[in-house]
Structure 1
Amino acid sequence: MECPHLGASVCLAPDSAKFPQGSPSSWCCSVCRSNKSPWICLTCSSVHCGRYVNGHAKKHYEEAQVSLANHKKTEKQEKIQHTVCMDCSSYSTYCYRCDDFVHLQNLENSAFAADRQRKRKLLEDSSLNSKLLKINGSTTALCATGLRNLGNTCFMNAILQSLSSLVEEFRKTLCALWQGSQTAFSPESLFYVVWKIMPNFRGYQQQDAHEFMRYLLDHLHLELQGGFNGVSRSVILQENSGLSGGSRCCINGTSTVVTAIFGGILQNEVNCLICGTESRKFDPFLDLSLDIPSHFRNKRKNQENGPMCTLPDCLRSFTDLEELDETELYMCHKCKKKQKSTKKFWIQKLPKVLCLHLKRFHWTAYLRNKVDTYVEFPLRGLDMKCYLLEPENSGPESCLYDLAAVVVHHGSGVGSGHYTAYATHEGRWFHFNDSTVTLTDEETVVKAKAYILFYVDRQAKSASDKL
């Protein structure tokens, strides 16, 4: 954005003696001493923490406006000071009066422009060697760019880095990930927007990558659909919060690029065990959440040589006929009361990109424990035909899927640990670990304990490659 407050607010020279001692990464808030998300005021050089730590940077701006309001002669000039601050590690710049990030190219006339260009040149030069990798004896340029961790934001980075490799529409949107123009892209602007529209993800605590992905796709779909026009975001969130995972996205409305890519349809069949009445319902979905079968979860260490859990095992567990327990009695319209019943899922329509979420976190008593069981998954040729409602209407290639990306959770709990991602781009596999991107191989990918798997329809991919 164009910020009109830069000229009066940026009063520090790059070599200013007012700067705190040490490197910017070691600076901490002058009030609470926190070293998380430090921001420096470009008027007075004071360092404070960001709004989602303890908010002292914003308080500094607010207090400055109150104290300066008494100086009538210079009020117009002074009130626009202390309004611009800069992230001490990424150099992202924010204006409180505009309430938005300021693109750094707009700082060309400010005192920091030359210093920033010098530091960027040093970073690019120092990273040149790390961007060249030896593959089969030849030197190949590494085109991928990482995402900086802004403080336990690896859950967001892993999802964005996975989505970037899936389809052309998302590659265009997230093209910065493949520019290879800097050591790491810092997504503060995106994360700030996420915080504004998704309050659940505010702060710097670890979050669930799958939950973030669902919120991201939900909001993207609703905004593309025009769902926020004249309607409060909080109202939409409240209305959607009670819906099932498959129908939370209002897919029955106007189609968007989200539903065109990730949207599929499930048929839910429920049969009353008393009178035999059958009920059918169609549910749209953007992803499928799959249980890891209990007999694989409970396998003891001395049974490690037993059968290995595979992705088809999880899919069969999802679609197999299941008798509902006493807490899930079905309201039979013929019997006119709740009865025991069976349930079965069929896939009525497959999406272009099939997102499979493995349920690795389960509540036991008051704890949410992780299921660390390895699940074997195919890199190519995942056949979904046997899970279709009408497989005879599908062509031989229309049900085959090839792996595009994997999100992995490292650690023991959903509120801790770390997320990384594997993604394929132009026939090569990359491992994304926040700002670090390394070239890897298929053997490493298949050994990962997957949390989220993204598969692309082979037929749709072949058609898009020809365009």
Structure 2
Amino acid sequence: MLEECISSNDRVIINTNFMKIIDVNDNKTTITDGSPKLPAVPNKEAKPSSSSSSPSSPAPQEPEPVTGESAVSSPAPPVRNWASFLQANAPPPQPTPKKTVKPKPASQTPIQPTPVSRSITPVAPFNINNESSQPLGILLLRIMFDSNYSVFNSLATFDVKPRGLTNSGNICYMNSILQILLYCEPFNRLLKLIETKSIGSLGVSPTPLLDATITFFNQFQEDSKAPVSPEDFYSSLTKQDKFSHLKWGQQEDAEEFLGYYIDGLNDEMLNEIKSVSTSQVDKLIQTYSQEHDSESSAKFKYNIKSTIRRIKNEEEEEDGEWSQVNNKKNSTTTKIEVDPTPLNMIFGGQFKSVVTIPKQSSSFQRSITLDPFQHVQLDISAVDTIEDAFKHLNELENISYTNNNKEIQVKKQTFIEKLPNVLIIHLKRFSYLKDQEIGVEKLRKKIDYSHDLIIPKEVLATEPSTPIKYQLSAVVYHHGSSADAGHYTSDIHNAGVWWRIDDTFVKQIKNEEVLNAGTEENIKNAYILLYSRI
């Protein structure tokens, strides 16, 4: 075992039985038994001690010192290879003072054996870019139930730049809605995922509206500041039955168009989910199970299977509605189901309406209805702020109806059971005139809203542990004094900056200008507010 190094003038070779020191300056050799003290011994053949435990063997030839003269042979065979190795690699002697070689002290800390551990293959972090393309129906299921595909993660979006839209056919209602959706991050991210990770169809596309929307979004990634023409998008839109009522040059309501548009995209997504085969679903579940623990896998399997059954109408309930009677038989709950899609997961919420009925008029004392929504319509006729409009939504209503020739008074109260990730608020500014058979009037009063919105706890079906907060991300305005005429514009928030867009006109504005909009002219009023949950 080799325990010492070689200095520039001394060479130390140690074997298990003795130690020999060759001084290369005077060619003298010292033999010792390895103890720290080195007694002087004449330079002659040394005989091994009889007490040595090493077996007797012929003495090998000792390696020559660097001076070229022969050294005394050593009888210890085990040292030969180490000495030869050190001798062959020794540097030439330098005329420097001789240094004393001191033995190293014994280590005080025992060497612990290296523990034997099972080899674990590290799991690489998820990267959406490494995922292969898949059928659109399968991709939509993953977006809904696989957290790695969630549109609320930091996945890629279309890098859209603020640009105007041309308006040669009185389509400002459509332009304003498209502008606010361009900068709605979850919606933008959903379209980007579909573009990059879905397999296209051969022949006629089953998703023409979705395709037209993705093509439209791509136009806003160009560096050009020139306005974009939406005419190709409009042409694709009006080929669908849902939009056959649209006429070029005819003004439409922006809020109604938004509802039709989201419904149209939802229909295409539902058809794609319906088209997936049983083998594709089984493969999806198997792939997920290989990458996740048993609890997550079981939940994923349940969500996928139940969604497929519901969409393919394999559930026992019909028309997406079911009722439940409590044990005391004094209350019934009716739930109106909505088919799950990624869009409903972004914009979808749920109302809870509670109707209290006098006992003598019915066998049920209370009727509860759970009703889905994609936007909240707020009555602003008697309020001045968004928060007060939500509280007004929750006010108790007295409703009269006739049953068996008797007039019955019931009470109704509306709560919000579930809030969406992106909250669309529609301010009800148009109402039918009471003193005329035909006619609609516009309520032009200013409603105060802020960049941050806290939903009043009174309107929530269940009081949350922490306040539910939203942040303003877009506003659509209506300019004009009547419902059947006027103009639409929008303010959008992008990368920390607010932009005002009026068809082809685009300019940057200050934060407070968004809140004060409507004060500069009494015919410009906030009509649709888009809030993102924080």
Does the aligned pair in 1 maintain the 2:187–2:346 contact within 8 Å?
no
Asked if 1:177 is matched to 2:195, the reply is no
Indicate the residue corresponding to 1:216 in structure 2: 261
Does the aligned pair in 2 maintain the 1:143–1:179 contact within 8 Å?
yes
SS at structure 1 position matched to 2:425: strand
Measured in 2, the distance between the counterparts of 1:282 and 1:362 equals 26
Does the aligned pair in 2 maintain the 1:144–1:179 contact within 8 Å?
no
Task: Return the TM-score normalized by structure 1.
Answer: 0.55
Equivalent position amino acid for 1:396 in 2: T
SS at structure 1 position matched to 2:238: helix
Measured in 1, the distance between the counterparts of 2:367 and 2:166 equals 49
Alignment of 1:173-322 (within 5 A): 173=214, 174-177=217-220, 179-197=222-240, 198-226=243-271, 252-273=337-358, 275=360, 277-294=365-382, 309-322=384-397
Measured in 2, the distance between the counterparts of 1:354 and 1:336 equals 43
Q: Which has the higher contact order (CA 8 A, sep 6+)?
A: 1
Indicate the residue corresponding to 1:236 in structure 2: none
Indicate the residue corresponding to 1:463 in structure 2: none
Alignment of 1:344-355 (within 5 A): 344-355=413-424
Equivalent position amino acid for 2:421 in 1: K
Alignment of 1:12-31 (within 5 A): none
Measured in 1, the distance between the counterparts of 2:394 and 2:180 equals 26
- How far has the Cα of 1:253 moved from its partner? 4.6
Q: CA RMSD in A?
A: 2.7
How far does the alpha carbon of each residue in 1:175-208 deviate from its partner, in whole angstroms, 9 at most, with x for none? 5335442411111121112222212222311110
Assess, with a 3 A threshold, how the Cα gap between structure 1 residues 323 and 251 changes in structure 2: closer, same or farther: closer
Indicate the residue corresponding to 2:37 in structure 1: none
Does the aligned pair in 2 maintain the 1:263–1:284 contact within 8 Å?
yes
Indicate the residue corresponding to 1:80 in structure 2: none
Assess, with a 3 A threshold, how the Cα gap between structure 1 residues 319 and 425 changes in structure 2: closer, same or farther: same
Assess, with a 3 A threshold, how the Cα gap between structure 1 residues 339 and 170 changes in structure 2: closer, same or farther: farther
- How far has the Cα of 1:341 moved from its partner? 1.1
SS at structure 1 position matched to 2:345: helix
Equivalent position amino acid for 2:228 in 1: F
Assess, with a 3 A threshold, how the Cα gap between structure 1 residues 169 and 293 changes in structure 2: closer, same or farther: closer
- How far has the Cα of 1:320 moved from its partner? 1.2
Measured in 1, the distance between the counterparts of 2:273 and 2:429 equals 33
Asked if 1:153 is matched to 2:222, the reply is no
Indicate the residue corresponding to 1:61 in structure 2: none
- How far has the Cα of 1:256 moved from its partner? 1.4
Equivalent position amino acid for 1:318 in 2: L
Does the aligned pair in 2 maintain the 1:217–1:258 contact within 8 Å?
yes
Measured in 1, the distance between the counterparts of 2:484 and 2:273 equals 30
Does the aligned pair in 2 maintain the 1:205–1:415 contact within 8 Å?
no
Measured in 2, the distance between the counterparts of 1:414 and 1:292 equals 16
- How far has the Cα of 1:221 moved from its partner? 0.9
Question: Which residue of 446, 465, 468 maps to 1:374?
Answer: 446
Indicate the residue corresponding to 2:280 in structure 1: none
Measured in 2, the distance between the counterparts of 1:264 and 1:168 equals 15
Alignment of 1:54-453 (within 5 A): 143-170=161-188, 172=192, 173=214, 174-177=217-220, 179-197=222-240, 198-226=243-271, 252-273=337-358, 275=360, 277-294=365-382, 309-324=384-399, 326=400, 329=401, 339-364=408-433, 365=436, 366-391=438-463, 394-396=464-466, 399-448=468-517, 449-453=525-529
How far does the alpha carbon of each residue in 1:394-419 deviate from its partner, in whole angstroms, 9 at most, with x for none? 3425x100101100000011221100
Task: Return the TM-score normalized by structure 2.
Answer: 0.48
- How far has the Cα of 1:446 moved from its partner? 0.3
SS at structure 2 position matched to 1:258: helix
User: Structure 2: which 5+ runs fail to align?
Assistant: 1-159, 193-213, 276-318, 320-334, 518-524
Equivalent position amino acid for 1:387 in 2: V
Measured in 1, the distance between the counterparts of 2:376 and 2:512 equals 26
Does the aligned pair in 1 maintain the 2:355–2:410 contact within 8 Å?
yes
- How far has the Cα of 1:454 moved from its partner? 0.7
How far does the alpha carbon of each residue in 1:151-183 deviate from its partner, in whole angstroms, 9 at most, with x for none? 110000101111111224326443533544241
Measured in 2, the distance between the counterparts of 1:387 and 1:413 equals 31
SS at structure 2 position matched to 1:419: strand
Equivalent position amino acid for 2:432 in 1: W
Q: How many residues align?
A: 277
Indicate the residue corresponding to 1:49 in structure 2: none
Indicate the residue corresponding to 1:28 in structure 2: none
- How far has the Cα of 1:346 moved from its partner? 0.9
Equivalent position amino acid for 1:147 in 2: L
User: Structure 1: which 5+ runs fail to align?
Assistant: 1-141, 231-239, 241-249, 297-308, 459-467
Assess, with a 3 A threshold, how the Cα gap between structure 1 residues 330 and 199 changes in structure 2: closer, same or farther: farther
Measured in 1, the distance between the counterparts of 2:269 and 2:254 equals 22
How far does the alpha carbon of each residue in 1:219-258 deviate from its partner, in whole angstroms, 9 at most, with x for none? 111111118989xxxxxxxxx9xxxxxxxxx983542121
Measured in 2, the distance between the counterparts of 1:178 and 1:313 equals 40
Measured in 1, the distance between the counterparts of 2:417 and 2:504 equals 40
Does the aligned pair in 1 maintain the 2:356–2:412 contact within 8 Å?
yes
Measured in 1, the distance between the counterparts of 2:406 and 2:220 equals 55
Does the aligned pair in 2 maintain the 1:274–1:340 contact within 8 Å?
no
SS at structure 2 position matched to 1:280: strand
How far does the alpha carbon of each residue in 1:367-391 deviate from its partner, in whole angstroms, 9 at most, with x for none? 1110001000111143344321111
SS at structure 2 position matched to 1:204: coil
Identity of aligned residues (%): 32
